[in-house]
Amino acid sequence: MENNIIIQMKNIRKSFAGVPVLKGIDLTVKKSEVLAVIGPSGSGKSTLFNGLTGSRQHVGNWPGKTVERKDGFFSHNGITYKIVDLPGTYSLDATSPDEAVTRDVCLGKIKDESQQDAFLCVVDATNLRLHLGLVLEVIELGRPVLLVLNMMDEARRRGIQINAQKLSERLGIPVVETVAKTTSGVANLIDALSQQKFALPQTEMNGLVGDQHQKVAQILSDVVVFSDHEDKRTEFLDRIFLHPVLGLISLTVLMFVVFQAVFTWAAPFQDAIESTFTWLGEQIGALISQPLLHSLVVDGVIAGAGGVVVFLPQILILFFFILVLEESGYLPRAAFLLDKLMFKAGLSGRAFIPLLSSFACAVPGIMATRSISDPRDRFTTIMVAPLMTCSARLPVYALLIAAFIPNQMVWGIFNLQGLVLFGLYMSGIVSALCVSIVMKFLQKDKSQHALLLELPSYRIPDLKSVGIGLLDRAKIFLKRVGGIIFALSILLWFLCTFPQAPDGATQPAIDYSFAGMLGHLIQPIFAPIGFNWQICIALIPAMAAREVVVAALGTVYALSGADDDAVAQGLSHLISMDGTGWSLATGLSLLVWFIYAPHCLATLATVRRETGSWKYVAIMATYLFGLAYLMSFFTYQIASRIWG
């Protein structure tokens, strides 16, 4: 049928070859397939997804759901494949919102979601005993399936011999062997897809009796030969990383190294970005003679965007470490290691990964709590997730640390600024534990819930997947700069510029503007914590996104009549100048404020979607603002008495 359509379309094109309107129009019918990737967490399905689609991906939500989805595309032999990466699950019997989405997709229950042509069922070849149960459930759906045996290199290293042909015969579906991280076998998978080897199960698995566990045991005894080869590498590393003392020391050292790297590695790239934006402002500013337009472009747009983009290297370094730890198999072990400590604080070990994700951004961290099946643990994790120091705080921290903390070495090996940054991150962690302890005390449900985690083998991170992850994060960050931060920078410039100063004005023009009026109006509220009116102005647009405060301060000070040479030296120089700058106490107070203050409307909106209640949004905003003001008050008052 398809071939007849193509022939007819070619004849139409020949018949109308001379018609101008049809020139350049491709009348060839192109076939497309929609494939859903399903598999347990840690099976390598996301690595396989990245290997197939590369950077041709987009992230969104499922229709009517807050659960994140990833779609990707690739073409082969004239066929375009749409790949849908489903949330990881061990069974279609869902126990969490993530697993519920996978179940609903498989059963066709999600409205407006197109029917998949086939399922790519990805399993870890070293853990078939646990993963084959999901395969049997998918087969029972009666839909086209292709089984992908991933991590075959690790299986062979352990002496696990799998007869893929016999496994295919027993299950009645095609089987392809792959090593996703090295793309080995991926070409065979693509060939199998192009040949449409995925098909309906060809057998009812005759000879298999009993429940699912018994059927899995029968299949394994028939197609798998296990050798008594222990994974000595994983065993050795686990003796260190899962040790109750050495494991905690290793985790602390690892986090310390990360925060040192954020400052030291990023410095050359930041200098280059800062110089580029300074040059750009000078070049474009020289072409604009109209004062207001010059101020808008140079002080509003370029200064606002440049003040935020300069921190992109630090954010990418932080994400790099998170992605590497995830790819290596370390994160589940960190969750297991911290489970006992987190339980005492009213949290589950499963909360570790959502909280770690919150170091990058609280929004995906809160969304990741869907993997926590217990409602009490999930609610507590959502409430404390904003206390993790997200990447949006990093520009603020970097600005204030550079302004008030000397760039010097401690004991010859540690950067003092890196130590302060580490202390800020640890303050957020300790505060989160304290808040969760209070919430545990207030909650009526005192039941205990066991932590069940699969600990995958240690593996070398796939650099391609890490690179794709970093590219995605860079795009998200730059979109924020090009979208909300750009818009807010222009809005703030307008508020700081109009109305203009009257004739004979003795104060800087910004004092007569809308922003200046508002800043002076609310400044008495924040005076006990050391904030001046310029900071008060910057805190308002920062409600939309924390990093906007840097651009806002840059705009405010650029329009405050500051010396041109001082402006050229950067914002950190302006706020730390003797006589006209901030005191050390004010700088420390603002640092503490941003540990707690919920300056992110996206986070609050996500809490509303995840909990379904504005009440919890109000509770979160109230307690975070209360903590921010209280801790900043203590910090400012104590620091003022010590350093003046």
- Tens of pLDDT, residues 171-222: 888 888 888 777 777 788 888 887 776 666 665 555 667 778 888 888 888 8
Give the count of beta carbons closer than 10 Å to the beta carbon of residue 562: 17
Residue type, 401: I
Could you tell me how many residues make up the chain? 644
Helix (H) or strand (E) holding 77: none
State both tokens at 421.
Answer: 């940054």
Query: Are 65 and 56 in contact, with CB atoms under 8 Å apart?
Result: no
**Measured CA angle at 619 (ends 438, 426), to 5 deg:** 50
| pLDDT of 482 over the 70 cut | no
Q: Is the pTM of this model over 0.85?
A: no
Mean pLDDT of 323-329: 82
- Give the model's pLDDT for residue 591: 92
Stretch 123-133: mean pLDDT? 87
How many percent of the chain have pLDDT more than 70?
A: 81
Give backbone dihedrals phi and psi of 279, rounded to 5 degrees, phi first. -60, -40
pLDDT band at 40 (very low <50, low <70, confident <90, very high): confident
Rounded CA-CA distance 194/251 in Å is 45
Q: What is the mean pLDDT of residues 633-638?
A: 94
339 pLDDT band, cuts 50/70/90, is confident
Tens digit of pLDDT for each residue in 521-554? 989 999 999 998 888 888 877 776 677 787 778 7
Q: Is the pLDDT of residue 370 over 50?
A: yes
Q: Residue range 129-150: average pLDDT? A: 88
Interval 275-318: pLDDT, tens: 888 888 888 888 888 888 887 888 777 776 776 677 678 778 87
- pLDDT at 78 > cutoff 90: no
CA 452 to chain CA centroid, nearest Å: 24
Most confident of 94-98, 175-179, 576-580: 175-179
Q: Which of 133-142, 452-461, 564-573 has the highest mean pLDDT?
A: 133-142
Of 141, 136, 148, give the one whose Cα is nearest residue 43. Answer: 148
Strand ranges (E), 219-310: 224-226
- The average pLDDT across 41-55 equals 79
From residue 362, how far is each of 196, 316, 432, 435, 524 by CA, in Å?
41, 16, 13, 16, 31
Tokens of 533: 């009116």
The single-letter DSSP state of residue 392 is T
- For position 529, what pLDDT does the model report? 94
Please report which helix (H) or strand (E) contains residue 75, including its range. strand 68-76
Q: What is the pLDDT of residues 382-416, one digit of tens each?
A: 999 999 888 778 778 888 888 888 778 777 777 88
The residues, ordered by sequence, that sit 6+ positions from 299 with a Cβ below 8 Å of its Cβ are 493, 555, 558, 559
